[in-house]
Structure 1
Amino acid sequence: MLDSLPKDKSQKVIPNGYEEKVWKVTASDAAKNCKNYIRDIVDNLVLEPNPEKSLIALSIGDPTVYGNLSPPTETVQAVLEIVAEGKYNGYGPTVGTDDARKAVAKYLSFDGVEYNYKDVILCSGCSSSLDLCITALADPNKGHNIVIPKPGFTIYKTLAESIGVEVRNYNLIPEYDWIVDLAHLEAQIDNNTAAIVINNPSNPCGSVYSEDHLKDILDIAYKYKVPIIADEIYERLVFSETRFVSIAAVNSRVPVLVCGGLAKRFLVPGWRMGWILFNDPIGAFDSEIKKGLICLSQKTIGSNSIVQGALPTILELTPQKFYDDLNDTLYKNAKSAYDIISQINGLTPYMPAGTMYMMIKIEIQCFPQFQTGLDFMQRLMEEESVFCLPGECFGITGFMRIVITVPSEMLSEACERMSGFCKRYYQ
């Protein structure tokens, strides 16, 4: 047997009866269908900043990038103590520990809503929460579709299409603070609609829906017997005199899966702690969906155990002053940017009511040198080293989104650069 092997190790041994073939491994449909729509657009732009000006990135929805916003001291200390204790280094229940789930249930029980800890599933960030909810509700083998906001965060489309579920868009109306176009929403729903995604407060719009508007949305959902997936990752991250109302607090007969997490309000997106809460007044989820979500949570074998251990302290002891100061800082940044951009010919800013973003309309007809908003954004980067995300990243043309989490002086500088840029090209 050994004598039959080639002495030259570079020679290949081919078993008798087999022909040598090129070894090609093909990707699954799920892998091929998984598309990051923001990267798909941004990667095709020529983004070379002006070397004579420092780059100001108003594109990234990570509030930690510039170091000017920090999580509360109590949050950091809680995690340090849990690490030192060493009691949470192992696996826990895939849905989360009872103590952590009780803390989340208590934290989100307000405005008349009362959650039981058994209504909570902990996940690896809010994106994981959304993934599990879409997967549990929408079945491509049944021809299901989901309806999502336009403009809206593209993760919904990425998650649905990766498993073969059709995505339909319903319009938001910029002139009316980005409320849902109810007639258009209703027109997207059919017998195969598995879920309506509601993002409130909104990324990228910064809008915050009133209780009456949420009721109108729920009336449509009830009419067609379609459950809601509520993305509330920005819950209570709203500005002065604006009240956040969870869709769960609106009296209805519509089953809702509420998704959220620590990422935004606590300024720790990298900690990957999200949650799903069942708000189901009629028991529509009891037979299959709750069990299905528990089974799906087993795919990741639970969320971050260290952060779970710290959750009761984080959610109980973070002072209200931290929340108020963060909201106030974001409001001041938004107002400053809005005041400057409002004076720029060719741009129309929409003052947000919350979150970390502002949408700006580009009156592209006033800039004949540019055919599209993408052209406008690319040249802004080349000449002024200011990078914003074009509206195409959120499914809408002729707009751009800026983040308002950057240091105030940097944000003002970026807006002034936009002003100079527009003065050169406005006609």
Structure 2
Amino acid sequence: MDVILCSGCSCALDLCITALARRGQNILIPRPGFSIYRTLAEGLGINVKSYELRPELGWEIDLDNLESQIDESTAAIIINNPSNPCGSVFSRDHTLDILDVAARYYIPIIADEIYEHMVFPGRTFHSLASLSREVPILSCSGLTKRFLVPGWRMGWIIIHDRQNVLEKEIRKALQCLSQRIIGSNTLIQGALPAILKNTPQEFYDDVMKTLHDHSRAAYNCVMKIPGLKPIVPDGAMYMMVYIDLPCFPEFNSDLEFVQRLLMEESVFCLPGQCFDYPSYMRLVITVPVDMLEEACQRIQEFCERHHYKTAENTLRNNLATVDIPY
């Protein structure tokens, strides 16, 4: 069996980690990365080691750092492309370089590709399995992100093992594990052929155009805000923003920054700490554009109040307009 249905992509990731790794072994996960990787692994007694992504290169993997994390206890590498939280999309050459590392060390890959259809114009998604005949790859994906309906809970694992590297036990383990929850959403299973067949291409095109427009609007706004540096996303539904914390002396961390932002402006962003990447925050760009623009405006007002230079200038200007009695 090469396709296993799961209750969403998170369930697919859970089954892959459980089947491939044993207690005391380790898996490699991206930093910054989706927090569920660590949660699932450590809950099973599996160790987690992080490899670095490089913001200055559009969040490409630091391949030397990735290679340095591999040891005799490494059971799998998780690759998330397109990325949550970064919104990055790897080039074909970079994807091949990743596969080369995995092939040299005989490490299977768990490919989290839930955002595979969320790629902005000018970029192309290259699945890991489409470029490799050597490395065994468990590709995890699902319906919910493409159709923007989280409650459907329909995901899957596709086993790509052209060299029969994975033992029969791995396939059997995945099949048995998938039966613990009596399978995925049966209503959506029944509707799946119609969903895939009858959804017009215009729907997908409109979703991508909307997300791309939102990403540009958010980037153009945030890049003008003192103390913040957004990184242009190439896909998915997120944008990472660097917080130059020394410019905001009231706050000791990204967590304090976003907490005060929520309290003062009712704008909620996830702190970089959620993705093991301090001094950043993640914006979600799926909200209606008028709400997105208002949120960005509120972030700007918040930063101008707390940025040490703009706050000093405001105070100085206010004092200059005050009539001082003699």
TM-score, structure 2 as length reference: 0.93
Is 1:124 aligned to residue 25 of structure 2? no
Amino acid at match of 2:15: L
- RMSD over aligned CA atoms reads 0.9
**Identical positions, percent:** 59
What SS does the aligned partner of 1:405 have?
Answer: coil
Structure with greater helix percent: 2
The one-letter code sitting in structure 2 at the alignment partner of 1:122 is L
Q: What is the SS of the residue equivalent to 2:158? A: strand
Specify the SS of the correspondent of 2:147. Answer: coil
Does 2:245 match 1:341?
Answer: no
The answer to whether 1:289 aligns with 2:160 is no
Counterpart of 2:239, as a letter, is M
> What SS does the aligned partner of 2:144 have?
coil
Q: Does 2:295 correspond to 1:414?
A: yes
SS at match of 2:104: helix
Which of 308, 311, 327 lines up with 2:192 in the alignment? 311
Separation (CA, whole Å) in 1 of partners of 2:44 and 2:306: 44
Q: Out of 252, 270, 274, which is 1:371 matched to?
A: 252
Write the distance in 2 (CA, Å) between the matches of 1:211 and 1:278: 21
What secondary structure does 2:11 align onto?
helix
Q: Number of aligned pairs?
A: 308
AA matched with 1:119:
D
Contact 1:218 1:252 in 2 (8 A): no
2:127 aligned with 1:246: yes
CA distance in structure 2 between the aligned counterparts of 1:119 and 1:286, rounded to whole angstroms = 13
Moved >4 Å (runs of 4+)? none
Q: What is the match of residue 136 of structure 1?
A: 19
Tell me, in whole angstroms, the C-alpha distance in 2 between the residues paired with 1:318 and 1:120: 22
Alpha-carbon separation, structure 1, partners of 2:307 and 2:241:
16
Residues 105-127 of structure 1: CA deviation (Å, up to 9, x unaligned): xxxxxxxxxxxxx4110001111
Q: Is the 8 A contact 2:87 2:235 kept in 1?
A: yes
Q: How does 1:59-138 map to 2 (within 5 A)?
A: 118-138=1-21
From 265, 270, 275, the equivalent of 1:384 is 265
Q: Deviations over 1:9-61 (max 9, x none)?
A: xxxxxxxxxxxxxxxxxxxxxxxxxxxxxxxxxxxxxxxxxxxxxxxxxxxxx
* TM-score normalised over the length of structure 1: 0.71
Separation of aligned partners in 2, 1:304 and 1:373: 38
2:133–2:163 Cα contact (<8 Å) kept: no
2:114 match: secondary structure: coil
Which of 17, 28, 47 lines up with 1:147 in the alignment? 28
CA deviation vs aligned residue, 1:53-79 (integer Å, no higher than 9, x gap): xxxxxxxxxxxxxxxxxxxxxxxxxxx
Residue of structure 2 aligned with 1:174, choices 55, 63, 68: 55
Separation of aligned partners in 2, 1:298 and 1:340: 48
Give the Cα–Cα distance (whole angstroms) in 2 for the partners of residues 278 and 331 of structure 1.
31
Q: Point out which structure has higher relative CO (alpha carbons under 8 A, 6+ apart).
A: 1
Q: Counterpart of 1:410 in structure 2: which amino acid?
A: M
- Look up the equivalent residue of 1:159 and give its one-letter code: L
Amino acid across the alignment from 1:275:
W
How big is the shift at 1:254?
0.1
* 2-structure distance, mates of 1:306, 1:355: 27
Q: Write the deviation string for residues 355-394 of structure 1: whole angstroms up to 9, x where unpaired.
A: 0100000000111111111111111111111110000000
- Cα deviation, 1:223-251, whole Å, max 9, x if unaligned, reads 11100000000012111111111111113
Deviations 1:310-346 (A, max 9, x none): 1111122211111111010001111001001011110
CA drift of 1:200 comes to 0.4
Q: Which residue of 2 aligns with 1:53?
A: none
Cα displacement (A) at 1:286? 4.5
Matches within 5 A, 1:155-166: 155-166=36-47
| Counterpart for residue 283 of structure 2 | 402
Kindly provide the amino acid, as one letter, of the partner of residue 255 in structure 1: P
Deviation string, structure 1 residues 160-182 (Cα, Å, up to 9, x no partner): 01110000100000010000000
Asked if the contact 1:257–1:276 (Cα under 8 Å) also holds between the matched residues in 2, the reply is yes
Contact 1:151 1:171 in 2 (8 A): yes
Amino acid at match of 2:38: K
- Partner SS state of residue 265, structure 1: helix
SS in 1 for 2:145: coil
